[in-house]
Structure 1
Amino acid sequence: MGTGVDVLEAGAGPPVVLLHSSVSGNRQWKALVADLRDRHRVLAPNLLGYGATPPFDGAGPQRLTDQAALVHAVLEGVDEPVALVGHSFGGAVAMRAAVELGDRVRALVLLEPNPVALLARDGRDDAFAEACALRDHVQRHGTAGTWTEAAPRFADYWLGDGSWDAMSASRRAAFVAALPPNRHEWDAVTDPAMTIDDVAPHDVPTLVVHDPATRRPIREVVEVLAAARPAWRSATVDGGGHMAPLVRPDLVNPLVTAFLAAS
């Protein structure tokens, strides 16, 4: 296993790598691991700065390939074709890892993926500006070290309006503590050099899952992907929001497990 990568491993069978969202960790996959472990070897790394995985070194802007290196590390010694599942930022990482791994990937599942740089490439300036406004908010407070000021807006944007006010004090503290890696993750998903071919493999069976009422940048990323890769399959989860993989695993996980079985 890759040195320095904090990874949860369970089950046996064809390997599946699960890549979590920002301000989360591999613990977000508890229910999906339980659903997969009887048929798959599940590998769920913590991304840079989460759990015991070292933080990003900060030497220049983070790029998706920096995070995809963790996937290569956890697959060291794995010779079988692998499936990748990623949520939000983890979805963007899974996309880049799939391109880098090439024909080693047998299936790709993207849950509300966020490679928002593709919006700028496609002329979707308003959606890109909305994402960049949140990026700038997080990075401004990250530079100042005022993470408690960054957290409410971030939480309400991705978890739903009013989420911060509804959190207990302990939940707020945990959220703030998990937020710092996101400062660098924004650089990765808004990389101005990113092209569709950098993150969207041509020949990998792929399922994209989203809530039609999710935030505009994600909706439009899904539209860009659908136009660029018409062979990819799509599925919707109504009412789950951006965090449906965590708050509505009863809706999301059957879609994931069925697609992996069919692939």
Structure 2
Amino acid sequence: MPKDIRYETETFWQVFGTGERPALAIHCMLGSSEMWGGVLAPMADTLTTTAFDLPGHGQSAPWDAAGAAPGAYQTLATRIAASFIERPVDLIGHSFGASVALRIAVGAPQAIRSLTLIEPVLFAAAKGSPEWEELRPHQDHLDALLAAGEQEEAARRFMRDWGAGAPWETLPEKLRTRFIAQMPIIENVTPANFEDPGGICRAGGMEGIEAPVMLIRGDQSPKIVAATCDAIAARLADVGTAVVPGAGHMLPLTHMPQVSELIAMNIERS
């Protein structure tokens, strides 16, 4: 499985499927490219999908947050993701990965054949909504923990809200240690989620995406996700939305067959 230097970052990736259509899949915070294997398996004859590990995740090199401008991580992830696109692709992203995918689609709509956004966390799209106002104090508390160096408690709270539902104490020690070490990345990404320094929400940006878009969320996810999906969908020319019953934020892992079917449906529309 290949690994090379992309934007001064040693980046690992793997390829799923052997189909004629090129695709690119971008995983969530604290995840890795491994999560896409089962989701993409039913489309192996249709897609050849590149899935890479974000900096500081999986088998890619660590990322040093010291001195980085707020939101810089999203810019780096977007540049690395875009470096894998050579011709129009079916672009798939989950959570933070969905925000990166949307940023690419806004910046280069001609590079996108279809766009599937699973639980995007671009909360700036819903800024000022009741859901945004409700979430902000919780995020302020998480930010305070991170600023105080309380990395373990921050990781515990983050996984409680955005994990797959397993209690922190039941996670393997190796995983807990890794999540704690990745908290500086979460700290840097927060401004990208809430304030959108990359300009994804700029006037006319999402409206310029002509490729079919599918927005997927779970009905058990934090309320801000529904508000974010609704706000994004309202600005798109060709969009479908889907809500998976009983699913939370990590539905690519917990509700794999449903997510696979919805991705396939969107691909068939392009």
Normalising TM by the smaller chain, what interval? Answer: 0.7 to 0.9
* Sequence identity (%): 26
Tell me the distance in 1 between the aligned counterparts of 2:64 and 2:208: 26
Please, which of 58, 63, 71 is the counterpart of residue 55 of structure 1? 63
Alignment-derived partner of residue 9 in structure 1: 15
Counterpart residue type for residue 184 of structure 1 = N
Q: 1:42 aligns with which of 25, 49, 61?
A: 49
User: Shift of residue 220 of structure 1?
Assistant: 0.5
- Match of 2:11, SS state, is coil
- The correspondence for 1:229, drawn from 214, 225, 236, is 236
- The CA deviation at 1:62 is 1.6
- Matches of 1:26 and 1:204 in 2, distance apart? 24
Question: Does the C-alpha gap of structure 1 residues 49 and 213 become closer, same or farther in structure 2, counting only changes over 3 Å?
Answer: same
Asked if the contact 2:23/2:89 (under 8 Å) is kept, the reply is yes
Task: Tell me which amino acid in the other structure corresponds to 2:151.
Answer: W
Q: Is the 8 A contact 2:95 2:118 kept in 1?
A: yes
TM-score by length of 1: 0.86
Q: Distance between the aligned counterparts of 2:142 and 2:29, measured in 1?
A: 12
1:36 partner amino acid: M
Where does structure 2 lack aligned partners over 5 or more consecutive residues? none
Give structure 1 stretches of 5+ with no counterpart: none
3-state SS of paired residue (2:184): coil
Q: Across the two proteins, how many residue pairs are aligned to each other?
A: 257
- Equivalent position SS for 1:156: helix
Task: Pick the aligned partner of 1:245 from 209, 234, 252.
Answer: 252
| CA deviation after TM superposition for structure 1 residue 254, in Å | 1.4
Does residue 119 of structure 1 match 2:129? no
Question: Which stretches of structure 1, 4 residues or longer, exceed 6 Å deviation after superposition?
Answer: none
Residue 211 of structure 1 corresponds to 218
Shift of 1:143: 3.2
Deviation at 1:187, TM superposition (A): 1.7
1:262 equivalenced with 2:266 (yes/no): no
In the alignment, structure 1 residue 183 sits paired with structure 2 residue 187? yes
Deviation at 1:109, TM superposition (A): 0.1
Q: Is the 8 A contact 1:134 1:154 kept in 2?
A: no
Q: Report deviation, 1:192.
A: 5.2
Query: What pairs up with 1:13-28 in 2 under 5 angstroms?
Result: 13-28=20-35
More strand by share: 2
**Counterparts in 2 of 1:192 and 1:254: CA distance versus 1, 3 Å:** closer
1:16 Cα offset (Å)? 0.7
Q: Aligned-pair RMSD on alpha carbons? A: 2.5
1:82 deviates by 0.7
SS in 2 for 1:9: strand
Partner of 1:173: 177
TM-score by length of 2: 0.84
Tell me the distance in 1 between the aligned counterparts of 2:179 and 2:62.
18
1:71-103 C-alpha deviation (Å, 9 max, x unpaired): 12222xx2x311110011111110001112221
Residues 155-193 of structure 1: per-residue CA shift (max 9 Å, x gap): 111236663244344443343344432111112111255
Q: Distance in 1 between matches of 2:46 and 2:226?
A: 32
